[in-house]
Amino acid sequence: MKGMIALNGNEVAFAKGSWNDVWGTYSMTRPNTDLSDPLLVRLNKDTGAFIGAEEIRSNFGVQDEFTAIAVDKDGNYLLGGFFHNELFTEANDGINTMAVNVTGGKSQSFFAKYAKSACSLSVVETSSSQAGIEVYPNPVQDVLYIKSKEPLVSYEIYGATGQSVKQGTLSMAQEQLVLSSLSTGVYYIKLKTKSATITEKIMKK
């Protein structure tokens, strides 16, 4: 599928439609007879290293894509595209499903914003494998365990829409966070050590 690109600080990102993409540890796989869903991919603009990806789930067998991408003055990603039936159909994505309100199978435009806070775009990020950080289990129910090759400094957890829901300081290479108070859904955890910052997507059961 065609893709549009945008520069954002230390990142280059592109937006497109896809049904089968693999970038680093991220894998987007749909059944063979499915059609494209919107996909945003973020890479380090100097090294090409994969930073992260975001996809929007839509109905099976329906073609939906990002067709435009831009960056605002605060570093947020602004994306536009088209869809034909429903978007945000993932039950735990924390976003209400959006339905087309036109008839006759016509496509409809949509816009999405990926907040700088949720994507942690304000810092130079490293992949979790490069930083030597493990976060498990994922999905998590009550306690999230973190193992790092060097002492951790801090953490911050964001909801799917970018709001900060939990944060604190850390001091050891092995830590655990109690997340039983969080509602079921998608979250992002930003972890900092003295030499690296990573962001991981976690699912709360």
Q: What is the pLDDT of residues 169-188, one digit of tens each?
A: 999 999 999 999 999 988 88
Mean pLDDT of 82-97: 85
Mean pLDDT of 102-124: 69
Identify the residue with better confidence: 156 or 164: 156
Q: State whether residue 129 is helix, strand or coil.
A: helix
- Residue 15 binned pLDDT confidence (cut-offs 50, 70, 90): very high
Q: What is the pLDDT of residues 37-49, one digit of tens each?
A: 999 999 988 888 8
Identify the residue with better confidence: 73 or 154: 154
Q: State whether residue 119 is helix, strand or coil.
A: helix
Residue 21 in tokens: 């993409």
Residues 35, 188, 67, 13, Cα dihedral to 10°: -120
Report residue 82: phi and psi, to 5°: -135, 155
Percent residues over pLDDT 90 in the chain: 48
* This prediction's pTM: 0.59
Q: What is the pLDDT of residues 140-149, one digit of tens each?
A: 999 999 999 9
Distance between CA atoms of residues 131 and 108, nearest Å: 41
What's the mean per-residue pLDDT of the chain?
86
In this prediction, residue 161 carries a pLDDT of: 64
Percent residues over pLDDT 70 in the chain: 91
Residue 116 in tokens: 């700088």
User: Residue 122: is its pLDDT beyond 50?
Assistant: no
In this prediction, residue 90 carries a pLDDT of: 85
Q: State whether residue 73 is helix, strand or coil.
A: coil
In this prediction, residue 119 carries a pLDDT of: 54
State how far Cα 96 lies from the chain centre: 17
Least confident window among 51-60, 101-110, 144-153? 101-110
